């Protein structure tokens, strides 16, 4: 079952400024899928709602050490990460509602868009072979549904971007703005950023609309789109209310199997452009 580990930690940002497209669901389930495939994963919850923290069963009431302390107070990443109690090989940096203030509190801070990047790069388990066995193979960053300073920090910290696209009518709307933002970040802040992965989510194979949208996404993005599509499944949406990923809640369900397949594709494709 285990796959070879990448030569270097792959930092992937899961972003799309549209809400409800499956960013959080994708982050936690791809993380769990990669872990099942033998990879060590750090999930950073960058959304003040803390939905990824909930799904991974990490406490995130106000005042819990987490992403806010990392970004605003300069806490070390290793000091704010916790092991996920449900999934072996996954660590999590939780987000609390305090993070909602960070967009404003960071405005006057020097190099405010580089805070997350610095924290990730300073982590002793991020890097290449020199880091040793305990190295994180993947850092997955779950973004809020906006293109503000939090998402900007994520884009500056990542090599790769994973964009979940919901297979529905307005799927491609707003993507232009997202891609312009990525281009801007590439040009001025992080030349190594690229959109490595597009994942079609909440796919309903019974409708012609979903098939049409999927085809349009593939025409537009070509090889960046994973072959695996995530089906719409009640089990996927139920899992967070049990503080679980669907991978542990119902591993045999279509949603869990699709996320495991998506994780395998991501691992097998490798991280280079």
Q: Which is nearer to ligand ADP, 214 or 236 (CB)?
A: 236
Residues 247, 90 contacting (CB under 8 angstroms): no
Q: Which is nearer to ligand ADP, 65 or 95 (CB)?
A: 95
Shortest distance, CB of residue 105 to Mg ion, whole angstroms? Answer: 21
Per CB under 5 A, the segment of 18-26, 55-63, 130-138, 148-156 that binds Mg ion is 18-26
145/143 Cα distance (integer angstroms): 7
Shortest distance, CB of residue 211 to ligand ADP, whole angstroms? Answer: 16
Which residues, numbered 21-40, are part of the site for Mg ion (CB under 5 A)?
23-24
| Cβ-based neighbour number of residue 85 at 10 Å | 12
Please, which residues bridge with residue 42 across strands? 91, 139
109/57 Cα distance (integer angstroms): 32
The binder of 123, among Mg ion, ligand ADP, none, by C-beta within 5 to 8 A per type, is none
The binder of 255, among Mg ion, ligand ADP, none, by C-beta within 5 to 8 A per type, is ligand ADP
Shortest distance, CB of residue 271 to ligand ADP, whole angstroms? Answer: 23
Q: Which is nearer to ligand ADP, 38 or 145 (CB)?
A: 145
The binder of 237, among ligand ADP, Mg ion, none, by C-beta within 5 to 8 A per type, is ligand ADP
Q: Which is nearer to ligand ADP, 24 or 39 (CB)?
A: 24
DSSP assignment of 29-55 equals HHHHHHHHTT--EEEEE--TT-HHHHH
Residues 34, 137 contacting (CB under 8 angstroms): yes
160/7 Cα distance (integer angstroms): 15
Q: Which is nearer to ligand ADP, 149 or 202 (CB)?
A: 202
The binder of 232, among ligand ADP, Mg ion, none, by C-beta within 5 to 8 A per type, is ligand ADP
Per CB under 5 A, the segment of 49-57, 75-83, 170-178, 210-218 that binds Mg ion is 49-57
Alpha carbons within 13 angstroms on the beta-carbon side of residue 234 total: 0
The string over 156-190, giving b where at least 16 C-beta atoms fall within 10 Å of a residue's C-beta and e elsewhere, is: bbbbbbbbbbbbbeebeeebeebeebbeebeeeeb
Query: Per CB under 5 A, does 5 bind Mg ion?
Result: no
Residues in the site for ligand ADP, rule: CB under 6 A?
19-25, 51, 145, 201-202, 230, 232-233, 236-237, 255
Residues 41, 140 contacting (CB under 8 angstroms): yes
- The tokens for 228 are 């695996």
The size of the interface with Mg ion (CB under 5 A), counted in residues, is 3
Phi, psi angle pair for 231, to nearest 5°: -75, 155
- Interaction pattern, residues 87-116, with Mg ion; x per rule: CB under 5 A: ------------------------------
48/153 Cα distance (integer angstroms): 14
- Residues near Mg ion (CB under 5 A): 23-24, 51
């Amino acid at each position: 079952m285990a796959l070879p580990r990448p030569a270097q930690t792959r930092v992937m940002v899961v972003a799309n400024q549209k809400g409800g497209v499956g960013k959080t669901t994708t982050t936690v389930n791809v993380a769990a899928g990669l872990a099942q495939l033998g990879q060590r994963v750090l999930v950073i919850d960058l959304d003040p709602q803390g939905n990824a923290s909930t799904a991974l069963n990490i406490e995130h009431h106000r005042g819990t050490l987490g992403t806010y302390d990392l970004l605003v107070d300069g806490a070390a990443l290793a000091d704010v990460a916790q092991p996920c109690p449900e999934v072996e090989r996954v660590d999590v940096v939780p987000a609390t509602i305090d993070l909602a203030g960070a967009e404003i509190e960071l405005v006057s801070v020097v190099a405010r868009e580089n805070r997350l990047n610095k924290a990730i790069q300073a982590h002793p388990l991020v890097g290449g072979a020199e880091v040793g066995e305990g190295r994180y193979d993947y850092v997955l960053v779950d973004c809020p549904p906006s293109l503000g300073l939090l998402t900007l920090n994520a884009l500056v910290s990542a090599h790769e971007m994973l964009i979940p696209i919901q297979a529905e009518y307005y799927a491609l709307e707003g993507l232009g703005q997202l891609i312009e933002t990525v281009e801007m970040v590439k040009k001025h802040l992080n030349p190594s950023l690229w959109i490595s992965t597009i994942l079609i989510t909440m796919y309903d194979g019974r409708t012609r609309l979903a098939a049409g949208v999927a085809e349009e996404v593939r025409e537009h993005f070509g090889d960046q789109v994973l072959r695996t599509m995530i089906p719409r499944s009640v089990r996927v949406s139920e899992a967070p209310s049990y503080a679980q990923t669907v991978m542990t809640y119902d591993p045999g369900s279509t949603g869990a199997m699709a996320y495991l397949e998506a994780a395998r594709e991501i691992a097998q494709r490798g991280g280079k452009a």
